[in-house]
A and B are shown apart, each in its own frame.
Chain A
Amino acid sequence: MQHLDGNALAGALAEFFSFDVTTAIARCNGCGAVDEFARAIVFTSPAGTVVRCNSCDHVLATLVESGDRAWLGFSGVSAIEVRRG
């Protein structure tokens, strides 16, 4: 088991979004913490990636990748704040 910073997901998330999601601010459904995605804790494994809140460990997001398909879940995020350019 390895864990990284949310920042390390910049590449994987760039496949889904046209902006850098790692600098967006997300609110955790578990504890209400509001923080940059880049500061979340990322657990990587070949089975999938789980992003957890750095305050309460709640699962914020999941990423499953397989060849030409990928699944991105934001089950633990109530909202993200995106800066307009």
Chain B
Amino acid sequence: MIGRPSVPRSGWHPATVVANTPETTTAARLELDVDGWPGNAAGQHLDVRLTAPDGYTATRSYSIASAGPATGDTTRVVLAVDRVPDGEVSPFLVDVARAGDRFEVHGPLGAFFVWQPAAAGVAASAGDGEADAAGGPDAAGGPDAAGGPVAAATRPVQLIAGGSGVVPFVAMAQAHADAADATPFRLLYSVRTPADVFFAPEFERLAAASAPFRLDLVYTREAPAGWPTPPARITREALAEAVLPTSDAPLVYVCGSTGFVERVASWLIELGHDARAIRTERFGGT
């Protein structure tokens, strides 16, 4: 199939918690061993289903932080879950789940919010009408006017995350580094305080890897000592400065709470980014 990343087939699998470790002041990293996991592409998510003793079930979606080769040769899956106060599922996953606990997962899910290196054979956007945006507006207006594959793998990638919205991006950046892909990658990451950065050591390593990757952090409540700008919510102007310019025609992925994604996406449009080149993943909330 041309035009979409080929992703492994989804299914329900039993998952066992291997480790639950603090990730930030409010979040945990959950390492799972998923029986029969077929692998996943970077950016995909899965649905977790918890069952109570009386048969009551609750299902929630979580992005997958691990980007093991999509070949099914590993059953290890990493999630990072932020505690939503008074939530039904996230406080359980962060505070209660411990090694040996089991629940069901359905995945890997979604072929839309995915990035794959050129080496994977299918470019991130070939044939879906985004690749041609670099050359000019999509005349037909439809999402599929471009037709066959284009050399879009080198189309620069701008990732924009708020809080736990960075989870799918650590997988994308890891896939990019693992493939030593030459595509320019930039991540703009908004967090409350230095203690709220997810995957800090991983991002440090990724920035040092050979694949071009740059992390720009924005602190909204409290910045590290000596940080050049005072903590503040991201503004349209700050966004314009920190993201790849429209002249680079980047593919832009935005992920985080619904309110964050909405603000950022509308600013990107105002700044002249092509709506078809923007992909969003809203996590809910406000």
Q: 8 Å CB contacts to A: which residues of B257-286?
A: 258, 279-285
Tell me whether A11 and B282 are in contact (CB under 8 A).
no
Q: Which of A2-10, A56-64, A69-77 contacts B (4 or more CB under 8 A)?
A: A2-10
- Cβ contacts under 8 Å, B107 to chain A: 11
- Cβ contacts under 8 Å, A3 to chain B: 258, 282, 284
Which of A34, A36, A83 contacts B112, CB < 8 Å? A36
Tell me whether A36 and B143 are in contact (CB under 8 A).
yes
Contacts A22-B110, A25-B143, A38-B113 given; does A11 touch B47 at CB 8 Å: yes
Tell me whether B258 and A7 are in contact (CB under 8 A).
no
Chain A contact residues: helix, strand, loop or mixed: mixed
Alpha-carbon gap, A85 to B211, bound state (A): 32
How large, as a class, is the contact surface on chain B? 20 to 34
How large, as a class, is the contact surface on chain A? 20 to 34
Alpha-carbon gap, A55 to B271, bound state (A): 19
Q: How far is the CB of A3 from chain B (nearest CB, A)?
A: 6
Tell me whether B285 and A2 are in contact (CB under 8 A).
yes
Q: How far is the CB of A42 from chain B (nearest CB, A)?
A: 8
Q: How far is the CB of A63 from chain B (nearest CB, A)?
A: 13
Q: Is B111 an interface residue (CB 8 A)?
A: yes
Tell me whether A10 and B109 are in contact (CB under 8 A).
yes
Q: How far is the CB of B1 from chain A (nearest CB, A)?
A: 5
Which residues of B come within 8 Å of A, CB atoms?
A: 1, 3-4, 7, 10, 45-47, 59, 61, 106-107, 109-113, 128, 141-144, 258, 279-285
New A-B contacts (13) at CB < 8 Å, excluding given A8-B110, A11-B109, A38-B110? A2-B284, A3-B284, A4-B283, A5-B280, A5-B281, A11-B47, A11-B107, A22-B110, A23-B4, A35-B143, A38-B113, A81-B144, A84-B1
